[in-house]
């Protein structure tokens, strides 16, 4: 079931909410949790009931392993063996469903073999619940979790707001909240805050993400069909996709946090205006934050353990060089996690190289002395622009189905056929023809470059200058770990601080108007991009 | 060497690296929330090794992500 569907908004969510508070508010806390679990499984099964068994098996298997890992009566050897088996089984399931055909297809391509590909439908959310439970097993092995029963474990994995596309939550973030009796008592503030966050997310999805996708999809399709795109439209198409995925994921994250908040449950922040960052490292700390956290906590350390045996100079330099390599390895892993195709691997590799280059740059500055240790405001702005363009280029690989398609987009972007602007601009800036600029117009069918330009510039202005949902609601704890004090406020942020959301009739009316526009704009079958991962 | 000395050293380090006002640096807030990225964290581990004459894992900050936790761990190691 999609968050941006009528059945979710007008049937599923209100019914589940009503049942939860009717049961929980009358002293049946356990029944309320059972109700929430049943609703979550129904939510998952709505897509394809035949894969419900996989989710249930995964939950039961990991719960049993967790019981063994958490008991000190078992020897260290047994517990370590259980951890290894658990991680391997989880990764094998993910590997079979997500990567089998990718692997076999690659073998066929490289060795010219003819192994048959299977018809495997990727189970929804498998990448998310697999990582979440691997983290649980590792944390339990490290003694960081405390077993609180099967029902709460089931909800930790399957709670519908975060089941399909994150945030990838930790056991200790969710289960203590389920233990708290306060969540069963209806609170008007939770309803107001949750509905506001959900509505803003819905608006971002149905108006911004779906709207700008009309300019990304035709351009990428034209490139895939062999159309020779012009410079201007290829850049516009690439920027349009960047903005589509930005608002799509921002929307999903808001709707997950908002719908959980309706039940009094806080989810961790997953998206924090990443394009306000001034470098790629900050960007990854603010984009898909819970995946970045997972990769940092569960992959960085083993990667470092392996890389430390590589002799890469004296101790201090060796460490930094190991860090550069580890960044590349981790981002390639992130690429593979996102999708089973070589284009995703290349997307991860490019981002890993970006990170390593930034780290080298940072270390070089540090060696120049204190004066250069921190960037100036102007350098931060320049860094922001460089990062934005660098991200657009890497996202071409993320969006394109094949390398051929990606190259067909990148060639005109890099000016292979000269720099060409829309024909309508010739009257205004025709003098640029003297320096070789052409005015060929666009070749993508039905693509209006000026309309696309207005969308791209408008949405870029929003991602740079508008407050994030959490900034706007910062006085009402809009996420589990959102701390406004550390958001390094810019002058614009300080301005927005004066226009804070409050649970007043005026703000209620504004949010209701936003909701009406968002609901009217719903497009049937418009899935979130992250559902495919 | 006391835990407080280590904490003061860490607060000054975060202030130098990120420009965050010392008064705003809290002991129980994770380093990354002040903008300390992985490169800065690994660099800090090296500087801590030099200062304390200890051998540390480069990823130690991932296990002890706040000044309070890291200083607790370091004082145990030092003593």
Q: Mind listing the domains of chain B with CATH numbers?
A: 3-78 (1.10.1200.10)
CB contact under 8 A, B42 and A308: no
Please indicate whether, in this complex, the C-beta atoms of A304 and B59 are within 8 angstroms of each other: yes
Residue A114 contacts by C-beta under 8 Å, 6 or more apart in sequence? A108
- Which residue out of B38, B41, B67 would a mutagenesis test of the A interface target, given it has the greatest number of A Cβ atoms within 10 Å? B38
Own/partner long-range contacts of A487-493 (Cβ < 8 Å, ≥24 apart): A487/A272, A488/B35, A490/A276, A492/A465, A493/A467
Can you give the pLDDT at residue A506?
Answer: 92
B30 three-class SS: strand
The answer to whether A300 contacts chain B (CB < 8 Å) is yes
Best of A269, A277, A278, A285 to substitute, by most chain B Cβ atoms within 10 angstroms, is A285
Provide the shortest C-alpha distance from residue B62 to chain A (in Å).
6
Per-residue confidence (pLDDT) for residue A489, from 0 to 100: 62
Tokens of A445: 């069918």
Distance CA A105, CA A405 (A): 18
pLDDT value at position A407? 93
Determine the distance in angstroms separating the CA of A65 from the nearest CA of chain B, rounded to an integer: 23
Closest Cβ opposite residue B62 in set A296, A363, A374: A296
Distance from CA of B49 to the nearest CA of A (A): 10
Cα–Cα distance, B40 to B47 (Å, whole number): 10
Closest alpha carbon to A160 in A41, A265, A48: A41
Closest alpha carbon to A81 in A136, A125, A141: A141
**Angstrom distance (rounded) from CA A468 to CA A492:** 12
Residue to substitute from B31, B37, B61, interface A, most A β-carbons within 10 A: B37
Contact call for residues A228 and A412 (beta carbons, < 8 A): yes
Cβ of residue A370 closer than 8 Å to a chain B Cβ: yes
Within 8 A of B17 by CB-CB distance, chain A residues are: 373-374
Please confirm, yes or no, whether A338 is among the known catalytic residues. Answer: yes
pLDDT of residue A523: 87
Alpha-carbon gap, residue B6 to B10, rounded angstroms: 6
pLDDT in tens, B46-79: 889 889 888 888 788 888 989 999 999 999 998 7
Nearest partner of A136 among A81, A64, A73, judged by Cα: A64
What's the per-residue H, E or C state across A148-216? Answer: CCHHHHHHHHHCHHHHCCCCCCCHHHHHHHHHCHHHHCCCHHHHHHHHHHHHHHHHHHHHHHHHHHHHH
Verify whether the Cβ–Cβ distance B16 to A373 is below 8 Å. Answer: yes
Give the whole-angstrom CA distance, residue A276 versus residue B20.
Answer: 18
Q: Give the long-range contacts of residues A411-415, CB within 8 A, separation 24 or more.
A: A412/A228, A412/A229, A412/A230, A412/A231, A412/A233, A412/A234, A413/A231, A413/A234, A413/A235, A413/A238, A415/A231
Task: Measure the CA–CA gap between A42 and A149, rounded to whole angstroms.
Answer: 21
**Chain A CB contacts of B33 below 8 Å:** 483, 486
The predicted structure's pLDDT at residue B21: 86
The pLDDT value given to residue A322: 85
Q: How many other CB atoms sit within 10 Å of the CB of residue A10?
A: 11
- CB-CB neighbors (< 8 A) of B25 in chain A: none
Q: What is the pLDDT of residue A386?
A: 94
Residue A144, chain B, CB below 8 Å: the answer is: no
For residue A504, count CB atoms less than 10 angstroms from its CB and return exposed for 0-12, middle for 13-18, buried for 19 or more: exposed
Confirm or reject contact between B13 and chain A (CB < 8 A).
no
Establish, for the pair of chains A and B, how many residue pairs have beta carbons separated by less than 8 Å: 55
Chain B residues with beta carbon closer than 8 angstroms to that of A370: 16
CB of B19 within 8 Å of a chain A CB? The answer is: yes
Residue in B29, B39, B62 nearest the CB of A323 = B39
Rounded mean pLDDT for each run of 10 residues along chain A, 533 residues in total: 90 96 93 96 90 93 93 88 94 92 89 86 89 95 89 96 91 94 92 96 95 92 87 92 95 96 95 89 89 88 82 79 89 91 94 93 80 75 93 95 92 84 78 79 76 93 91 88 63 78 92 95 78 66
Q: Does B47 touch chain A (CB under 8 A)?
A: no
Q: Compare all CA atoms of chain B with the CA of A321 and give the residue at the minimum distance.
A: B39
What integer pLDDT is reported at residue A373 of this predicted model? 63
The predicted model scores a pTM of: 0.88
φ and ψ of B30, to 5 deg = -65, 145
- ipTM > 0.90, yes or no: no
What local confidence, expressed as pLDDT, does residue A256 receive?
96
Q: What pLDDT shows up at residue A484?
A: 60
pLDDT of residue A488: 56
Q: Hey, is the C-beta of A109 within 8 angstroms of any chain B C-beta? A: no
């Amino acid at each position: 079931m999609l968050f941006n569907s009528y059945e979710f908004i007008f049937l599923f969510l209100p019914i589940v909410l009503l049942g939860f508070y009717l049961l929980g508010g009358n002293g049946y806390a356990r029944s309320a949790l059972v109700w929430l679990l049943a609703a979550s499984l129904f939510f998952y099964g709505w897509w394809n009931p035949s894969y419900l068994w996989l989710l249930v098996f995964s939950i039961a298997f990991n719960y049993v392993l967790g019981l063994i890992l958490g008991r000190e009566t078992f020897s260290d050897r047994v517990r370590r063996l259980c951890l290894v088996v658990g991680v391997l089984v989880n990764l094998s399931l993910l590997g079979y469903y997500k990567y089998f055909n990718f692997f076999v297809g690659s073998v066929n391509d490289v060795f010219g073999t003819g192994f048959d590909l299977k018809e495997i439908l990727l189970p929804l959310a498998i990448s998310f619940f697999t990582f979440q439970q691997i983290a649980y097993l590792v944390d339990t092995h490290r003694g960081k979790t405390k077993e609180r029963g099967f029902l709460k474990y089931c909800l930790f994995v399957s709670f519908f707001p975060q089941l399909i596309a994150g945030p990838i939550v930790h056991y200790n973030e969710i289960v203590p909240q389920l233990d708290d009796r306060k969540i069963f008592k209806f609170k008007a503030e939770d309803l107001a805050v949750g509905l506001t966050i959900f509505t803003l997310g819905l608006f971002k999805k149905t108006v911004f993400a779906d709207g700008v996708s009309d300019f990304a999809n035709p351009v990428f399709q034209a490139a895939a069909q062999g159309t020779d795109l012009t410079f201007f439209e290829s850049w516009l198409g690439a920027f349009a996709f960047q903005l589509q995925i930005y608002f799509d994921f921002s929307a999903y994250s808001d709707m997950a946090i908002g719908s959980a908040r309706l039940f009094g449950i806080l989810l961790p922040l997953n998206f924090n205006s990443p394009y306000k960052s001034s470098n790629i490292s900050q960007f990854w700390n603010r984009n898909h934050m819970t995946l970045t956290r997972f990769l940092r906590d569960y992959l960085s350390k083993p990667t470092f353990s392996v890389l430390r045996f590589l002799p890469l100079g004296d101790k201090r330099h060796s460490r930094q060089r190991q860090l550069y390599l580890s960044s590349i390895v981790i981002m390639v892993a992130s690429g593979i996690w996102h999708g089973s195709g070589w284009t995703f691997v290349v997307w991860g590799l490019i981002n890993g190289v970006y990170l390593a280059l930034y780290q080298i740059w940072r270390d070089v500055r540090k060696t120049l002395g204190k004066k250069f240790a921190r960037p100036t405001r102007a350098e931060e702005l320049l860094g922001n622009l460089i990062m934005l363009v660098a991200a657009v280029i890497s996202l071409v690989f993320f969006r394109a189905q094949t390398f051929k398609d990606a190259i067909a987009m990148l060639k005109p972007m890099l000016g292979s056929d000269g720099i060409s602007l829309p024909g309508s601009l010739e009257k205004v800036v025709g003098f640029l023809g003297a320096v070789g600029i052409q005015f060929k117009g666009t070749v993508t069918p039905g693509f209006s470059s000026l309309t696309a330009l207005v969308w791209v510039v408008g949405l870029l202005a929003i991602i740079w200058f508008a407050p994030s949902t959490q900034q706007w609601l910062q006085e009402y704890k809009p996420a589990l770990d959102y701390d406004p004090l550390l958001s390094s406020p810019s002058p614009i942020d300080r301005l927005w601080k004066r226009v804070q959301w409050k649970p007043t009739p005026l703000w209620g009316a504004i949010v209701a108007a936003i909701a009406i526009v968002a609901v009217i704009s719903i497009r049937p079958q418009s899935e979130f991009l992250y559902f495919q991962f | 060497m006391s835990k407080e000395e280590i904490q003061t050293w860490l607060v000054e380090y975060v202030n130098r690296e990120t420009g965050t006002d010392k008064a705003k640096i809290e002991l129980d807030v994770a380093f990354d929330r002040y903008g300390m990225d992985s490169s800065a964290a690994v660099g800090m581990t090296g500087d801590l090794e030099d200062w304390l004459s200890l051998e540390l894992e480069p990823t130690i900050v991932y296990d002890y992500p706040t000044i309070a936790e890291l200083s607790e761990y370091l004082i145990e190691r030092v003593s």
